[in-house]
Amino acid sequence: MTSPQTEPVQLSNRPKRADALHNYEKLVAAAREAFTEADRSASLEDIARRAGVGIGTLYRHFPTRADLVQAVYVDEVEALARSAGASAELEPWEGLTAWLERFVGYVATKQALADELFAIAERDAAVFAGCRSLLHASGEPLLRRAQEAGIARPDVTIDEVVRMVGGIAKIPADNPADIQRVLTVALDGLRYRPD
């Protein structure tokens, strides 16, 4: 049985000084909240106000709106990657499915940022490739552990599973329970059933 042994690589450029780090984290949290609300057109001034900092502090950390959007995205990816460690402490199937359910929540947050992310995707393609690699590296040990336990199909890769779950998370639905139902059916198809 294997489990994730190393801490995921940190993709963000978080400050080292405690006070600067505190302001950085408040700004990212305020931006995440603003970007996931129905009206995603929050100004940088509004985000600074929500975070309880001045606009100068926001611009010191994030010179452009794109920098702030990217920081929110990377923060979400890093949190999801770190959660793989906690999922590895569960039984193999429960660990894998718990992480994939969290992945669905991550994709929902990313959907709220979709327009903003597409606007910066070309500029920072390396960041997005790094995020994708980090997610695969975090989820792959969970899948492999479930496969080695004979619980998950041995003929699938983490890339295929992430694509499947990502696609499910993007299905338009008025009720989150609808997405959960489709995810449950798909995960049932991921189970290994010997002939």
Task: Check which CATH number belongs to the domain holding 111 and give it.
Answer: 1.10.357.10
Same domain, 107 and 168: yes
Number of domains in the chain: 2
Same domain, 72 and 163: yes
Q: Note whether 51 and 131 are same-domain residues.
A: no
pLDDT digits over 96-149, tens only?
A: 999 999 998 888 767 667 667 766 666 667 788 888 899 999 999 999 999 999
Look at residues 170, 164, 162 and name the one whose alpha carbon lies nearest to residue 185.
164
The Cα 168–Cα 129 span in angstroms is 21
Regarding pTM above 0.85, the answer is no
Rounded Cα distance between 93 and 33, Å, is: 32
Give the tokens for residue 30. Answer: 């305020």
Strand-pair partners of 152: 191
* The pLDDT value given to residue 43: 87
Q: Is 8 within a domain? A: no
Give the structural domain span for 20. Answer: 13-63
d(CA 65, CA 20): 19
The enclosing domain of 26 has a CATH number of: 1.10.10.60
pLDDT tens track for 69-102: 888 888 888 999 999 999 999 999 999 999 999 9
Is residue 2 a part of any domain in this protein? no
What is the rounded distance in angstroms from the CA atom of residue 34 to the CA atom of residue 57? 18
